[in-house]
Structure formats: C-alpha cells, structure tokens
C-alpha cells in the first residue's frame, strides 16, 4: 500500500486481493493468527480455579481452628490470626465469583466478554483483606496495649498454629507451582511474574498465603514471648505487626487490580511476538503500530496499523483489514482486534 520500510527487501510479494475476496468465507479467511508464539500454562483457567478452591478449603478450616484457639487462650496474636484467616476465606469466595463471572460468554452488549469482572471482584477481595484482616488485627493489638488481658493454654495456640502452617503451606505450594510454570515459560523471576500476571486470582492466593505463613511465625513469636516474659505486650505487638503485614499485601493487590482495570498493556515481548506473527502473513508488508491491552485474565484486545502488500484498491484494502481482524479475533487469547492502514511516513516496528 505504502512504500516499505528499510530491511524488507526489494521484491514485492504478489497478493491477488480480488481472488482473496472471492475465496474468503463470510466469517473469516484462513486459520487464526497465533500471536502468542508459545504455549503458556496460563492459557487455561482451570488451574486457577483449583488454586482458589484449595485456598478456600484450607482457610476455612484454619479460621475455625484459630477462632476456637483465640477464645480458649485469650491471645491477641491468635485473634489477629483468626481475623486474618476469616478475611482470607471471604476473599476466596470473591475470587470464585470472579472466575465464574469472567467466564460468561460475550453478548451483544458485551462483545468482548466479561473478562474485566475478574479484576473488579479481586479488588473487592483486596479491600476486604485491608478492612477486615488489617483493621481488626491492628485495632485489637492497640486495645491490648491499652488494656491488656492475660492469656493462657499456650499449648493449644501452638498446636493450632502448627496445623495452620501446614495447611497454609499446602495452599501456598499449589499457587507457587502454577506461578512457577508460567514464570519459566515467560522467562521471568517468580515474584516478577506474580506481580505482572494478568490472572489476579493467582496473585491474590500467592500473596495471601505468603502473608499467612509469615503471620503465623509472627504470632508464634508473640505468644512465645508472652509465655516466657509474662507480659502481654509482645502478644499485642504481634497482633499489630500481623495487621501491618496484611495492610501492605492488600495495598499491593489493590494497586495491581486498579492497573488492569484502567488498562494494562502486555509486556514488550508479547508485542514483539504479535508483530512477528503479523509480518509472517503475505497480506502484511509492514506493522507501524501495535498495542495489546488486557481485558481479562489471559485475554487481550489488539489494535494496530499495518501496511498492506501491493497496492490494493480502497474497497479491497478494507476487506483485507476486516478479514485480518476476524482471524486475529479467533486467535488464542485475543478477544478482538482493530486494524487501520499505516501512514507512509510512519516507521516500521
């Protein structure tokens, strides 16, 4: 359509657009354009559902056990841990709702599906962690500092915390296994991948379980110092520290969900793979603009500008662009695409 950019060679690839238009079916011409470039363990949401269900079952059992232990022992740290586990249990319910609502098929009013619902409900879960988990833990810890109460039956607390550590560890291992496989495929560090992944349920379970394991260690230390010194201050301080830990995790999760809700683009490597896939098509001579924006977990919307091979007429060019858009929309992870013609002066990507 327009002069080629540097490095494309001097031979124009012939494309018969009239024949392409005649042979193309109404729905789409040719196979889907695979812009992913490689198999990604995140491509299936089934393991994310398993991760959330495992976390829910573990947190529910832990919350009940910690609540009983908090009543029996009177420990501030144990009460903080009980509030933490109940907040996590409620959060898993939000995450299950998120998975179900985001999986609803597209309709006329929502042509690109409901993928962003996963970020809305995950945001609710993070706010709940901040309000219930962090709020109750910090408030109760301060209350115990002002008006301390004695604690007892420390053995019960230690047993419950030990069992809780095992159950939280099982849930954390499930989230870690899923994240590690995806991180290896994306050539990222585990923590970098968990922060960057478009799947908020994996991120939520990973950070909540990690915080739970650290919180159990803090509570154990606080209760142990209470038993050794006879002072309730370490126990109360432990409750406050657990609350601060939960607040930090909640703020991180809130911020990541906010970023995806307002529009998070894919990383440069994904963009480069999409450009290569488009350039491999005989109809495409150059790609001068491309943007992949997440509209859900493992779902993107593609916009771009391309230069078509040869010099097709305006009606032919319009048809070719529409055909390419339909092929892209049938690709793995792409819910829709909008392509326009490049300006002659625009540099190639």
Band of pLDDT at residue 1, cut at 50, 70 and 90: very low
Same fold, 17-33+281-341 and 45-262: no
Q: What is the mean pLDDT of residues 141-153?
A: 82
Question: Domain residue spans in the chain?
Answer: 17-33+281-341, 45-262
Calpha distance 38→35 (Å, rounded): 9
Band of pLDDT at residue 186, cut at 50, 70 and 90: confident
The DSSP call for residue 3 is P
What class has domain 45-262?
mainly alpha
Q: pLDDT tens digits for 215-236?
A: 999 989 988 998 888 888 888 8
User: Please, is 26 exposed, middle or buried when counting C-beta atoms within 10 Å of its C-beta (0-12, 13-18, 19+)?
Assistant: exposed
Calpha distance 309→313 (Å, rounded): 12
Is pLDDT of 314 > 50? yes
pLDDT > 90 fraction of the chain, expressed in percent and rounded: 28
Is pLDDT of 148 > 60? yes
What class has domain 17-33+281-341?
alpha beta
What is the three-class DSSP state of 229?
A: helix
Band of pLDDT at residue 300, cut at 50, 70 and 90: very high
Q: What pTM was computed for the model? A: 0.80
Q: pLDDT tens digits for 257-294?
A: 999 999 899 888 888 889 998 999 989 999 999 999 99
DSSP structure string for 270-328: HHHHHHHHHHTSTTEEEEEEEEEEEEETTEEEEEEEEEESS---HHHHHHHHHHHHHHH
| Mean pLDDT over each residue of the chain, to the nearest integer | 83
């Amino acid at each position: 359509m327009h002069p080629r950019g540097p490095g494309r060679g001097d031979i124009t690839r012939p494309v018969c657009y009239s024949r392409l238009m005649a042979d193309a079916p109404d729905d789409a011409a040719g196979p889907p354009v695979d812009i992913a470039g490689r198999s990604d363990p995140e491509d299936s949401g089934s393991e994310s559902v398993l991760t959330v269900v495992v976390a829910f079952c573990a947190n529910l059992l832990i919350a009940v056990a910690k609540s009983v232990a908090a009543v029996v022992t009177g420990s501030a740290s144990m009460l903080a841990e009980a509030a933490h586990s109940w907040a996590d249990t409620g959060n898993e319910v939000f995450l299950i709702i998120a998975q179900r609502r985001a999986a609803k098929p597209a309709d006329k009013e929502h042509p690109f599906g409901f993928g962003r619902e996963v970020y809305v409900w995950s945001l609710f879960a993070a706010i709940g962690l901040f309000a219930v988990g962090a709020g109750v833990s910090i408030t109760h810890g301060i209350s115990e500092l002002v008006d301390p109460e004695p604690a007892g039956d420390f053995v019960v607390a230690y047993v419950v915390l030990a069992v809780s550590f095992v159950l939280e560890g099982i849930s954390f291992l499930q989230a870690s296994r899923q994240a590690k496989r995806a991180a290896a495929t994306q050539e990222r560090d585990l923590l970098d991948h968990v922060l960057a992944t478009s799947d908020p349920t994996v991120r939520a379970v990973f950070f909540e379980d990690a915080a739970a394991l650290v919180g159990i260690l803090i509570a154990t230390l606080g209760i142990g110092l209470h038993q050794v010194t006879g002072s309730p201050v370490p126990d109360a301080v432990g409750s406050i520290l657990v609350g601060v830990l939960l607040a930090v995790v909640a703020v991180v999760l809130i911020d990541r969900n906010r970023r995806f809700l307002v529009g998070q683009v894919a990383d440069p490597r994904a963009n480069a793979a999409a450009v290569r896939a488009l350039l491999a098509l005989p109809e495409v001579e150059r790609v001068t603009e491309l943007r992949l924006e997440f509209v859900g977990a493992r779902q993107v919307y593609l916009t771009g500008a391309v230069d078509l091979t040869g010099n097709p007429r305006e009606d032919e060019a319009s048809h070719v662009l529409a055909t390419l858009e339909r092929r892209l929309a049938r690709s793995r992870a792409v819910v829709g695409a909008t392509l326009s013609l490049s300006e002659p002066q625009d540099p190639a990507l």
